[in-house]
Structure 1
Amino acid sequence: MDGMTRKQVDKAESRDFALGPGPLRPRDAATLILLDQEGGEIRVLMGRRHSRHAFMPGKFVFPGGRTDPADSRVPVAENLHPDEEAKLTGAPGRTSPARARAIAMSAIRETYEEAGLLIGRKGPFATAKPDWQGFADQGVQPSLEVLRFVARAITPPGRVRRFDTRFLAAWRSDVAVELADGGPTNELEELVWLPLGEAKEADVPTITRTVLDELEKRLTEDPLLRPGGAVPFYRMIRNRFVRDVL
């Protein structure tokens, strides 16, 4: 998508997003790319959104959603790795540590709510926040240290909904509990583990395919996804979609 004009992006995403006048300021959002390495092949968890949803109906996506600032106050077993926090809080557009923490925590919460996967480590956990009660019920302390910041993208103007989305990644081995019946919401109709190559060929939004391409390249260079890796950042500047590196 790098270098595409707004007209070209609108055409490419016309089946992904509802076009029309929307908010000028994008809202913070986070999504989690959960990876599983089995038999030398890397698979990624994706779910299909309900066809009735206004935002990306029927598309395969990663678990994720809008950031809740209150998530920053939920206790964790381990904080973000310093190199990852530096990437999340750095330029352009400085982000406070509390906001970065909320963004990262929302990716963990949404993965629980939509996929029934609790990322963290086993141990006593208590909270008064109902959105995190499942972690208390399962005895799981959420952990941010396992997350890797792998991409960022801001929805171009002219969409009914706009998000400033941070794409985070973790390994399936970082999941402390997998609920047999999935998560408590019905955001996703179907959850599947797809090889990276197949995931790019599925019915996914254009930006999702772009992020998968980026992640595949990073995994080729760094199979362990070490902290502090380069983060591609996609956004519209002067009527052209550009790729920067954080």
Structure 2
Amino acid sequence: MSAGPLWQKLLKEAAELEALGHPPVAIRPAASLVILDESESPAVLMGRRGRHHRFMPGVFVFPGGGVEPCDRKLAKHHRLNQPALDRLHIESSIDTVEASALALAAIRETFEETGLLIGAQEHGDAEPDLGWPYNAPAGFHPRPQWLTPLARAVTPPGGSHRYDTRFFVTCRSNLVEPDAPQFDPPTLELEDIGWVRLSETGDMPLAAITRAILQDVQSRFVAGTLYDPNHPIPFYRRQGQAFLRDLI
């Protein structure tokens, strides 16, 4: 990424966080999911974080959040595919369970924040208790193997929260109800949930890292590599006074 306006915005937001001067906090593993509608006008699922949130208030985001113990427990039985695991292991010490837990966290958070499920709904079958705070419909089986690693980003220091976030991508057809007429999430984490055309995100209130991820989605979608787990992914992070984007 060149030193253009977006890069300057990444640096500016990192400096603003640093200026808050919060004591150092532990970096929490997190995951976020980009769901792409590959229609004639490609669109992604987004929602606006309420202004009461302490982390990224008032901006549009992809669904996501921190990894919970239930994700790690479920990851012992539901794994990412091997190429995706290999990608997540690059420049990281996480094991197979933790890597799969990241994908499962993305699926769970998407359900909690939008009401949409990534996986298979097998009627007459009962998935063992997922351990989720909010119950999914009976017979739902999450499918982390339908997710592809897209990017990694570490929140710069200075704020009250820091996350090491893995972004995943999947297509809308992998939803249990891809044509759901409305969103019925069990929480009020996100407002104004909807499908946003990639061509219409320019004037939306977005964090710089979200805009960078959207650029990554657009370029890989055009190149036909969006769902290829063997494709290198960008790793965004602050290092000293520099902001880095390395491919891993």
Tell me how far 1:167 sits from its aligned partner: 0.6
TM superposition score normalised by structure 2: 0.87
Matched residue type, 1:222: G
Aligned counterpart, 1:121: 120
Hey, what's the Cα distance between the residues in 1 that align with 2:231 and 2:214? Answer: 15
Contact 2:31 2:166 (C-alpha < 8 Å) held by counterparts: yes
1:231 paired with 2:233, answer yes
Q: What are the equivalent positions in structure 2 for 1:115-194 lying under 5 Å apart?
A: 115-123=114-122, 124=125, 125-127=127-129, 129-131=131-133, 133-134=135-136, 137-177=137-177, 178=180, 180-194=182-196
Tell me how far 1:68 sits from its aligned partner: 1.0
Aligned counterpart, 1:65: 65
Q: Deviations over 1:121-173 (max 9, x none)?
A: 12221216143621xx2421100111011011001111221110111111111
Hey, what's the Cα distance between the residues in 1 that align with 2:53 and 2:17? Answer: 11
Aligned counterpart, 1:195: 197
SS in 1 for 2:218: helix
Tell me how far 1:23 sits from its aligned partner: 3.4
Q: 1:8 to 1:20 in 2, by over 3 A?
A: farther
TM superposition score normalised by structure 1: 0.87
Tell me how far 1:24 sits from its aligned partner: 4.0
Hey, what's the Cα distance between the residues in 2 that align with 1:234 and 1:32? Answer: 16
Q: Deviations over 1:51-91 (max 9, x none)?
A: 1111111100000011113312227986312111111122x
Hey, what's the Cα distance between the residues in 1 that align with 2:50 and 2:42? Answer: 26
Q: 1:192 to 1:120 in 2, by over 3 A?
A: same
Hey, what's the Cα distance between the residues in 2 that align with 1:16 and 1:33? Answer: 25
Matched residue type, 1:11: K
Contact 1:63 1:110 (C-alpha < 8 Å) held by counterparts: yes
Q: Deviations over 1:212-239 (max 9, x none)?
A: 1111111111166223222000111232
Deviating runs (4+, > 4 A) in structure 1?
Answer: 1-4, 6-10, 13-18, 75-78, 178-181
The gaps in structure 1 that reach 5 residues or longer are none
SS in 2 for 1:215: helix
SS in 2 for 1:114: helix
Contact 1:61 1:204 (C-alpha < 8 Å) held by counterparts: yes
Paired residues, what number?
Answer: 241
Contact 1:17 1:55 (C-alpha < 8 Å) held by counterparts: no
Tell me how far 1:180 sits from its aligned partner: 4.2
Contact 1:44 1:199 (C-alpha < 8 Å) held by counterparts: no
Aligned counterpart, 2:96: 97
CA RMSD of aligned residues (A): 2.7
Aligned counterpart, 1:30: 31
Identity %: 36
The gaps in structure 2 that reach 5 residues or longer are none
Select between 209-218 and 224-233 the one with higher mean Cα deviation: 224-233
SS in 1 for 2:170: strand
